[in-house]
C-alpha cells in the first residue's frame, strides 16, 4: 500500500468537506423578495426542484434554514425582523397566501424557474411575472392589482386573478390555459379565442357586455352572472357554447339567484339553445358546493342560433 502523505490526506478531507458543503448550500443567486410588515409572522408554503433542497429565509436578524422536498410543504409561520423577507434557494413553488396587510410587495424576478405561485389574499398592488416563463399555475386573487401582464407566461395552465381591480386581461398568449378565474374585476372585454384547452371559466361580476366561447371546445363549466348582458348578448352566448352532445353535461350559470338584477333580461332569452347542446343552465348560488343547484326558470325567448355553414 502506498504511503499517504499528511498533506494529501488533509487535502482530500478538505475536498470532501467542500463537496459536502456545495451539495447542501443554498443557491444564493436564486431568491424571492417579500415586502412585509416588520414584526409580523409571515405564512409560507414551499416546494423545491429536488428532494432535500436547502432553503434559507432571512428577515433582518432572523435566519431560518429549512429543507424542502418536491411536494408542497404545509404552511408555517416565519417571524420577521425587518420590512423585507428574502427566500434563497431552488424553489419550484411558493405559497404566501392569506398574509393580508402583512404582505404588500412581492418580487419573483430572481427566481425565473418558479412554476407555481399562490399569493392570494394579501395587499399587493402590482405583480411582475414577466421573467417567470416557466409558470404553470398563478393564483393572485383577492389583492389590489390594477394590472396583470401574463403575455410571457406561455406555459400557464391555471390563472386565478379574481377579486382585484383589473380593467384588462389579455390571455391570447396563454394557449395552454385550462382554468381561468377572473371573477369580480372591472373587465369590459374578454377574448378567449386563443385558449382551445380551456375547461373552466369564472368571469362573473365584471362589466362584460358580450362573451364568445365558440373556440373553447373543451369548456365544461362557465360562471358569467353579474355582467351587464343584454338579452341578445345572452342568446349569442348560449349559441356560442360548444356542443356537448354525447358527452357529460356541461354547466353555465348566468344568474346568481332569483333576486339577480339581470333576472328579467335572462328570462327573456332562449335557454333551450344551451340545453340543445347538453348544457345545464343553473343558478350560481351554492352551485360550487352543491352540484344539485337549481335550474333557472323556463325562459320566454325564441331566438334561434344561426346554423354553421356546411
Q: What is the DSSP string of 126-173?
A: ----TT-TT--EEE--SS--S----TT-TT--EEE--SS--S----TT
Q: Are residues 166 and 83 in the same domain?
A: yes
Q: Are residues 140 and 270 in the same domain?
A: no
- Distance from C-alpha of 189 to C-alpha of 208, rounded to nearest angstrom: 6
Q: Does some domain include residue 95?
A: yes
Please, are residues 250 and 279 in contact by the beta-carbon 8 Å criterion? yes
First to last CA, the chain: 88
* Strand-pair category, 31-36 with 158-160: unpaired
Q: Does some domain include residue 277?
A: yes
What local confidence, expressed as pLDDT, does residue 14 receive? 40
Q: Does some domain include residue 5?
A: no
Q: Does some domain include residue 4?
A: no
Parent domain of 207: 188-310
Q: From the CB of residue 57, how many other CB atoms can be counted at a distance below 10 Å? A: 24
Number of domains in the chain: 2
What local confidence, expressed as pLDDT, does residue 285 receive? 81
136-174: burial string, b at 16+ Cβ within 10 Å, e else: bbbbbbbbebeebebeebebbbbbbbbbbebeebebebb
Residue 82 host element (H or E): none
- Distance from C-alpha of 128 to C-alpha of 150, rounded to nearest angstrom: 9
Supply the pTM of this predicted model.
0.90
What local confidence, expressed as pLDDT, does residue 4 receive? 44
What local confidence, expressed as pLDDT, does residue 220 receive? 98
Q: Are residues 249 and 159 in the same domain?
A: no
What local confidence, expressed as pLDDT, does residue 308 receive? 65
Place of cell 494529501: 8
Q: Are residues 35 and 181 in the same domain?
A: yes
Each residue's pLDDT, cut to its tens digit, for the chain (310 residues) gives 444 444 544 433 343 333 333 346 788 999 999 999 999 999 999 999 999 999 999 999 999 999 999 999 999 999 999 999 999 999 999 999 999 999 999 999 999 999 999 999 999 999 999 999 999 999 999 999 999 999 999 999 999 999 999 999 999 999 999 999 999 999 999 999 999 999 999 999 999 999 999 999 999 999 999 999 999 999 999 999 999 999 999 999 999 999 999 999 999 999 999 999 999 999 998 755 455 679 999 999 999 999 864 3
Q: Are residues 109 and 238 in the same domain?
A: no
Q: What is the DSSP string of 120-137?
A: -SB--S----TT-TT--E
What local confidence, expressed as pLDDT, does residue 288 receive? 56
What local confidence, expressed as pLDDT, does residue 42 receive? 99
Q: Are residues 37 and 167 in the same domain?
A: yes
Q: Are residues 239 and 294 in the same domain?
A: yes
Q: Does some domain include residue 13?
A: no
Q: What size, in residues, is the chain?
A: 310
What local confidence, expressed as pLDDT, does residue 22 receive? 37
Amino acid at each position: 500500500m502506498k504511503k499517504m502523505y499528511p498533506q494529501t490526506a488533509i487535502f482530500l478531507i478538505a475536498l470532501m468537506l467542500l463537496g459536502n458543503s456545495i451539495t447542501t448550500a443554498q443557491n444564493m443567486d436564486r431568491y424571492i423578495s417579500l415586502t412585509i410588515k416588520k414584526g409580523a409572522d409571515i405564512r409560507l408554503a414551499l416546494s423545491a426542484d429536488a428532494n432535500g433542497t436547502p432553503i434559507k429565509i432571512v428577515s433582518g436578524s432572523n435566519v431560518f434554514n429549512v429543507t424542502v422536498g418536491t411536494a408542497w410543504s404545509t404552511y408555517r409561520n416565519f417571524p420577521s425582523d425587518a420590512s423585507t423577507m428574502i427566500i434563497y434557494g431552488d424553489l419550484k413553488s411558493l405559497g404566501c397566501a392569506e398574509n393580508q396587510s402583512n404582505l404588500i410587495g412581492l418580487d419573483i424576478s430572481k427566481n425565473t424557474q418558479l412554476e407555481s405561485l399562490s399569493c392570494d389574499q394579501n395587499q399587493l398592488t402590482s405583480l411582475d411575472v414577466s421573467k417567470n416563463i416557466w409558470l404553470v399555475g398563478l393564483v393572485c386573487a383577492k389583492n389590489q392589482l390594477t394590472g396583470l401582464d401574463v403575455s410571457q407566461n406561455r406555459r400557464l395552465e391555471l390563472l386565478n386573478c379574481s377579486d382585484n381591480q383589473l380593467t384588462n386581461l389579455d390571455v391570447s398568449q396563454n394557449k395552454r390555459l385550462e382554468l381561468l378565474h377572473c371573477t369580480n374585476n372591472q373587465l369590459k372585454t374578454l377574448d378567449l379565442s386563443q385558449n382551445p384547452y380551456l375547461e373552466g371559466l369564472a368571469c362573473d361580476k365584471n362589466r362584460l357586455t358580450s362573451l364568445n366561447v365558440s373556440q373553447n371546445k373543451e369548456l365544461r363549466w362557465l360562471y358569467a352572472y353579474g355582467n351587464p348582458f343584454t338579452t341578445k348578448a345572452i342568446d349569442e352566448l348560449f349559441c356560442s357554447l360548444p356542443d356537448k352532445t354525447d358527452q357529460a353535461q356541461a354547466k353555465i350559470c348566468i344568474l346568481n339567484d332569483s333576486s339577480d338584477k339581470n333576472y328579467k333580461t335572462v328570462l327573456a332569452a332562449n335557454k333551450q339553445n344551451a340545453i340543445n347542446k347538453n348544457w345545464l343552465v343553473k343558478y350560481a348560488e351554492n352551485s360550487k358546493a352543491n352540484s344539485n343547484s337549481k335550474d333557472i326558470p323556463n325562459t320566454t325567448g325564441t331566438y334561434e342560433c344561426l346554423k354553421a355553414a356546411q
